[in-house]
Amino acid sequence: MKLKNILLALILFAGSFLSADAQSRQTVSVLPDFSFFKLDGTSFTRNNIKAGVKSIIIYFDPGCDHCQHEVEAIGKRYNEFKDVAFYLVSANEKTQISSFMQTFGKDLNGKNNVTVLHDPELQFFYKFSPTTFPAIYIYSFQGKLIKQFSGTTKVDDLL
């Protein structure tokens, strides 16, 4: 599993240097089909996305400083996101994801509109084509991309 995480990091790093290709890969205008897992092992697909609300999907790496700061900043302003469904997705080990949420996502952990997901098959990378961590995608309640961010993003920009 560690080899897979190193491979993903290398792919993302290499992708950041291929800006023309990265720009073309960043367009995910409609929420793609996917199959992730909740930390309890329950399957989670596109059909499980909450209907009638905007969705913010954050692809993160628990060891990424930018991801840590991003999730902490969102957590501190959680009350401003009550009408949004958050989906935090990581390909790392479940223990790393849990530790990340307990440390950096403690203000989001356990909230009804926050779902933490495990992506052991790297589907996120292949279906959403992120170029850096954190990768943030905001979708309308109809599943259409509203905005995409790469790297650290100000909470005000997300709002």
pLDDT tens-place string over residues 34-51:
999 999 999 999 999 998
Mean pLDDT of 101-124: 96
What is the overall mean pLDDT for the chain? 87
Q: Is residue 5 pLDDT above 60, yes or no?
A: no
What pLDDT shows up at residue 32? 93
Tell me the pTM. Answer: 0.84
What pLDDT shows up at residue 51? 87
DSSP letters for the chain: -HHHHHHHHHHHHHHHH-HHHHHHHT---BPPP-EEEETTS-EEEGGGSPTTSEEEEEE--TT-HHHHHHHHHHHHTGGGGTTEEEEEEE-S-HHHHHHHHHHTSTTTTT-TTEEEEE-TT-HHHHHH---SSSEEEEE-TTSBEEEEEES---HHHH-
Domains and CATH numbers, the chain: 2-25+34-158 (3.40.30.10)
